Chain A
Amino acid sequence: MSLDLGVFCKNTLDGEAVDYCFSAIFGLAQNSDPSYLDWLLKAWSWTLAVAGLSLVIALVLGALMGTLRTLPSNGGLNSLLVRLSTAWVELFRNIPILVQVFLWYHVIPAFFVPLKALPSYWLVSIALGFFTSARIAEQVRAGIQALPSGQRAAATALGLTTAQSYRFVILPMALRIIIPPLTSECMNLVKNSSVAFAVSVPELTLFAMQAQEETSKGVEIYLAVTLLYALTAFSVNRVMAFIERRSRVPGFIISNDASLAH
């Protein structure tokens, strides 16, 4: 079958061809109506915005909750924090993401009225961020527990407080070990951001559903959207791979280097 890529240079108002495909974005034709390509790129920017915002929320909360889960228990405040962070993880990873998005959009603002003023992309980002933070928290916990117990003991022996031993010894090691699974999680986040269409964030999935109905060019539209999702997730993969290479602790993390095999 042949592809009709001309669909992207069509006007979104009446389906006529436009003079400049990038009319609205580069200001080539100020008075011209936006083309489907303009719309596609705008939708992509929404996908990036939602994924980026939720990534920040997920990383901060995930690192915090994962750390809290490993606090040495002393029966006091620490035990409370451990229980709190465990509840956080179990709550947010046991509810389907689409349900969580609806909860944040329709249900929670009904009880906390100020949240109604928050734009929907913020609410979606919070939902996605919290959901992903629960998963990242488990990776952080796994990373911390994978460290030899001697490290914590040595930190204590040096006279470091609990906070200091996490800050200077445990977390710098643990966070580096978990980069490979973290990479998967970040790539998943880009793909999961497609649920945002359900609460009227005009991102790529919404564009695909709407534009294919208007143009009857489903194959071309979905190909373009697939390409952009794949490109975005792959870019995240490359950035994380770079970080992984640069932050590797020599001799500690098993690499492909044959000389380190034992």
Chain B
Amino acid sequence: MLDKIKSTGVVTMGVRESSIPMSYTTGDSRFDGYHVEICRMILADIKANLGLNTLRINYQPVTSQNRVPLVQNGTVDIECGTTTNNTARAKDVGFANTLYVEEVRIAVKANSGITSIAQLNGKKVATTTGTTSVQLLRKNEKATGVNFDEVFGKDHADSFLLLESGRADAFVMDGSILAGNIANSKNPKDFKIVGEVLATEPIAIMVPKNDPEFKAAVNAAIAKIVANGNMPKLWDKWFLKPIPPKNIVVGLELSPATKNAWANLNDKPAEDYQKK
């Protein structure tokens, strides 16, 4: 891969269209976000190391369904979206060191008085079809004996609508998605994220498998970014300050798990996070 980048001067970055604030489009086929900015810094570092004058970045939008195959077949050189690092995917692709740890949380209406999963007994809980949160809810229901009705949204926007319109009392999903949907809603103050963390998952930049040199170069660049003290600034920029294009504030505080990932850089899969 490094040879290919050196000879062509072009690299293809896989990005998501609406994973605010990790990786999303700001219109006119431009992409930005927490992971996208980190990837640009990584590629700038690689460009300097290879002694290239110019390095053109092609942006290739990917979806949950095609991101792994596109990295596998070489269409995408580095994927900077919101991909969970797990052992099943690690058979097909490689993962850089984790810089963001996702926490599955509960969003409720601010005036509902619900503060923990135990209070969801007999309530309706929304989640999105085709996500790992559905299985997580089932496991939780079994483990805690809390009984709730599941309602399923077709996508995250639908699930949030279920909460907004009162068809569901809570929406269980990745913290960043909840925060993003709340920030985008008509009255963000009407909603809040409450309760315990239901699961943690490492979200990582995806690179081709069987290319240890490229992966080492990416990880070296990541180590440099962390060592320079850039990570808290990046977090502040994307998660706490107004972001383009609509100047919304995601408002998701830095979690101890993510802080820990920065302090101890590693590429452990999600399975390792569940053991403790």
Contacts and interface: CB of A to CB of B under 8 A. Distances in A.
A45 interface: no
Contact of B165 (A106, A206, A210): A106
B135 A106 contact: no
Given A13-B138, A106-B165, A202-B152, A210 B130 contact: yes
A200 B153 contact: yes
Interface in A174-230: 197-200, 202, 206, 209-210, 213-214, 216
A202 B131 CA distance: 14
Interface residues of A, number: 19
B154 interface: yes
A100 interface: no
Contacts of A260: none
A206 B139 contact: no
A206 B152 contact: yes
Interface in A211-253: 213-214, 216
Interface string A103-144: 000100010000010001000000000000000000000000
A198 B142 contact: no
B265 interface: no
Interface string B127-144: 001111011001100100
Contacts of B139: 13-14
Contacts of A33: 142
Interface string B164-185: 0111000000000000000000
A213 B128 CA distance: 12
Nearest to B153: A200
B88 A216 contact: yes
Contacts of B153: 200
A47 interface: no
A120 B167 CA distance: 10
Contacts of B154: 197-199
Interface of A: 12-14, 33, 106, 110, 116, 120, 197-200, 202, 206, 209-210, 213-214, 216
Interface of B: 88, 126, 129-132, 134-135, 138-139, 142, 150-154, 158, 161-162, 165-167
Sort A-B residue pairs by CB-CB distance and give the 4 closest, nearest first.
Answer: A200-B152, A200-B151, A209-B130, A198-B154
15 contacts: A13-B138, A14-B139, A116-B166, A197-B129, A197-B152, A199-B154, A200-B126, A200-B151, A200-B152, A200-B153, A209-B130, A210-B129, A213-B130, A214-B132, A214-B134
